Structure 1
Amino acid sequence: MKKKIALIVSLAVVLLLSGCWDVTEPQRMYYIDGIGIDYKDGQYEIYMQIINFSTVAKSEAPPSQAPPSEIGFAKGKTMEEAFFKLYRSIDQKIFWGHMTFLLFSEDALKNEHSIPVIDSFLRHRQTRYQILTYCTKDHIKDVLLVTPMLNKSLTASKLSNPLRTQEIETYVEPVDLRNLLISLDEPSHEVNIPFVSINKNWETTEEPTTETALTGFGVVSKNGFKGYLMDGDARGIQWMFSKKTRGDVTIKLDNKEKEYLSVDLEKLSTEIKPIVKNNEVTFEVDIKLNAIINGFKGKVSTDQIRNGVIKAVKKDIKKTYDEGLKIDVDVFRLSEQLYRKNVKVWKKIQKDGKVTLTENSLSKINITVNKVNPGRKTFAETIQE
């Protein structure tokens, strides 16, 4: 009897183990971190970034001489044709489950080429909705070849993990495939995709280096690419959404020296209220902020700082709104606010999911600076002249 029980247990164990026989060992796979998409002369140009996972984990061993990544390139009439051309030159199995971002060129965003690309990645069994999306005017290969500071792993780069830099400054919110689909499906059927540029402000003791920077955003609708808002034209976006963000403004003090002061701002809340009169709608914005002062010279009062912050934030918001109107973009998604809060009026006045906006549609911007934090306990200078 005991022999029969032992035999049954042994067979059960064998049957359970047999389910793992066809699993590929991790060291026998290549892991994709990012994909770059370009479109030229009627063909998709694909850049595949395969990451070296030996550089990810920390150890006391000497650093590996292997490159942190390799970039593959192929082109085809469809994106899938280009991928299969790349597969022919790869000597291990490809794993897509760790892919973190998609990088589009300007040409790939135009003429509705981006929509089938997004659809293809969503249909793949191994990819996820958390894949981040970016756009750029730089050559895609150059962006993908940029490595993080101090030879950190590519998994710590700004493109792979932009949330780490939000503690320093939140300028443009990351957009993953899930949020992109939601934004395209709801009024105003537009989405702001972070814009990546190559920054050359850093160098080592041996040579200058390059880093990636998020310096604006490109706007994509269901009908294709609409344009960019860059640098100062895009700064107002950070104050207009409900997520807690951190940013800065530089204000001019009203004193004898007319000095400038940079203030850190931590946003607490933003509320957008549609005001409907005679089937016409305008929007009022209420924003609450905290201000933090890192350093200043001379005497300054909290009222001076509050007034300066209010003026600067209003200027940022108005500038971004006006630049959005120039390219027919509802940059603050005001149409969605009306859709959610008064859908009956939205149905009457909307056209293709958007409400017609003018310079006066953003009628009022109310900004409240709740606290002005001097950084320590006093507004007096730390070092007196």
Structure 2
Amino acid sequence: MRNNQKRIILFLTILLTACILSGCWDTNESERMVYVQGIGVDYNGLRYTIYIQIVNTSLTAKSEVRGDITSTKVVVGHASGKTLNEAAFNLYASIQRRLFWGHLSFIVFSEQALKKGDIRATIDRFDRYRETRYSLNLYATKEPLSEVLKSVPPLSLAPSLSKLGDPRATYEQRSFIRPLDMREFLIAINEPPHEAIIPYIRLAKNTWETETTKTNPLIEFAGVAALTKNGLKLMAPFKNIKGLRWMNKDFKREELSLTNELSHVSLIVWKLKPKKKTIVKNGQIQFQLSLDVTASLSEIVKPEQLTKIEKESEKLIKAQILATYLEGLKHHVDIFRLSEEAYRKNVKAWKEIEQNGKVPLTKESLQKITVTVKVKQGEKQKLRPTI
């Protein structure tokens, strides 16, 4: 009798343990879910419109494994609502499977959405959702969002390898505009000068072709958008903010073409050491910028003195930095984040004159710009024309 009781107790224990361990009842099969790669946010004055880019995950596998089931790379859906959340739920009404947001890698804002200040609502919406991450890249555009999200990489590359999804790949080769993710954005707007700069993108429509036809428009970085938590302050093309790249501590590589009589000379800049100095005088804060540049000679058609090339490069970089600073002043943007430098180095002086976290900047606030260029090599050849 006692043995039977023991057996019953042991059986019930094993049965209960099996019930506890069977934790896969609510599992979603990966092939039965739809994966969101990117979203776009627009505003037309009355309603929000959210665009969702859904990726074909079979393209991320090898062709012999996926069997080329479909050649469709992305599908873009959209819906509108009084709020972003309502727009998203209106889109759920027509989706065929559960949307998975864990692979979301970028958000594109239209110019109208940024002017409305919708970046606050968007960040709050996706910051609260458990599947999304702080590594989302942020972009601004004037292009139709449906066209932007339908732009995919050529040569059957996976959509996750697009310029929007993986901007660091091309940034290593050309440090034109520094990508900014959501974590960095939140840090920037919560510290002086309470502004953040994100890439402004557009569609390059006639740049690439195949042997039979032109390819679809591809994404290119065209400039920057300067934002506060309340909205857009500046959207500038690259030609107006060329000096921004030279004050970037994360700089990797960039090209510099000289002008005037040295227009046949081109340099590759591959190392920068930017420095900002705060000077407090008579209750005013001024700044000095210094820059050490290391470059290689990339192109030269006729012989030129190396010292002349270096001096002309210094003048050109200095002029670009000053022009970029003045462009920021026109729109009340501290484009080089000089207010943060004052806050870090002399918080007492910063507290005395700051206005909403920013140091009031004028043309005279930038006291001096010093640029030193050193051309160290000529790539595979010497520092003279090949022919």
Global fold match (TM > 0.5): yes
| Percent identity for Structure 1 against Structure 2 | 39
Displacement of 1:353 in angstroms is 0.8
Counterpart residue number, 1:282: 286
Counterpart CA distance in 2 for 1:377 and 1:66 is 45
Displacement of 1:77 in angstroms is 0.2
Query: Conserved in 2, the CA contact under 8 Å of 1:162 and 1:174?
Result: yes
Q: Show the 5 A alignment for 1:300-379.
A: 300-376=304-380, 378-379=382-383
Q: Show the 5 A alignment for 1:1-385.
A: 11=15, 14-15=18-19, 17-60=21-64, 63-200=68-205, 201-209=207-215, 210-252=217-259, 254=261, 259-376=263-380, 378-383=382-387
Amino acid at match of 2:226: V
The root-mean-square deviation of aligned C-alpha atoms, in Å, is 2.1
Counterpart CA distance in 2 for 1:271 and 1:149 is 40
Amino acid at match of 1:307: K
- 1:150/1:9 CA distance change after superposition, 3 Å: farther
1:282 alignment partner, SS class: strand
Query: Conserved in 1, the CA contact under 8 Å of 2:208 and 2:214?
Result: yes
1:147 alignment partner, SS class: coil
Counterpart CA distance in 2 for 1:334 and 1:259 is 33
Displacement of 1:6 in angstroms is 9.4
Counterpart CA distance in 2 for 1:111 and 1:233 is 24
Counterpart CA distance in 1 for 2:186 and 2:238 is 25
- 1:166/1:6 CA distance change after superposition, 3 Å: farther
Q: Deviations over 1:230-263 (max 9, x none)?
A: 1211221111122233111111375xxx542111
- 1:305/1:21 CA distance change after superposition, 3 Å: same
Counterpart CA distance in 1 for 2:178 and 2:10 is 60
1:372 alignment partner, SS class: strand
Q: Deviations over 1:76-115 (max 9, x none)?
A: 0001111111111112111111000000000100132221
Displacement of 1:281 in angstroms is 1.2
Amino acid at match of 2:316: A
Which range moves more in the overlay, 51-60 or 95-104? 51-60
Counterpart CA distance in 2 for 1:53 and 1:89 is 20
Amino acid at match of 1:241: N
1:195 alignment partner, SS class: strand
- 1:364/1:89 CA distance change after superposition, 3 Å: same
Query: Conserved in 1, the CA contact under 8 Å of 2:269 and 2:296?
Result: yes
What is the TM-score of this pair, normalised by structure 1? 0.93
Count how many residue pairs are aligned between Structure 1 and Structure 2. 380
2:152 alignment partner, SS class: coil
1:329 alignment partner, SS class: coil
Displacement of 1:65 in angstroms is 2.8
Counterpart CA distance in 2 for 1:381 and 1:110 is 50
Q: Quick check: which one's strand share is greater?
A: 1
Q: Deviations over 1:334-385 (max 9, x none)?
A: 00100011000000000011111111211111222244211135223323xx
Structure 1: unaligned runs, 5 residues or longer? none
Displacement of 1:309 in angstroms is 1.6
Displacement of 1:64 in angstroms is 3.9
Structure 2: unaligned runs, 5 residues or longer? none
Which range moves more in the overlay, 277-286 or 366-375? 366-375
Q: Deviations over 1:128-165 (max 9, x none)?
A: 11111000000000111111121211100000000000
Query: Conserved in 2, the CA contact under 8 Å of 1:250 and 1:312?
Result: no
1:306 alignment partner, SS class: helix
Displacement of 1:4 in angstroms is 9.6
Which range moves more in the overlay, 245-254 or 319-328? 245-254
Amino acid at match of 1:342: N
1:20 alignment partner, SS class: coil
Which range moves more in the overlay, 218-227 or 15-24? 15-24
Amino acid at match of 1:106: E
Amino acid at match of 1:45: T
Amino acid at match of 1:151: S
What is the TM-score of this pair, normalised by structure 2? 0.93
- 1:57/1:12 CA distance change after superposition, 3 Å: farther
Counterpart CA distance in 2 for 1:160 and 1:366 is 37
Displacement of 1:268 in angstroms is 3.1
Counterpart CA distance in 2 for 1:339 and 1:35 is 35
- 1:92/1:326 CA distance change after superposition, 3 Å: same
Counterpart CA distance in 1 for 2:210 and 2:13 is 62
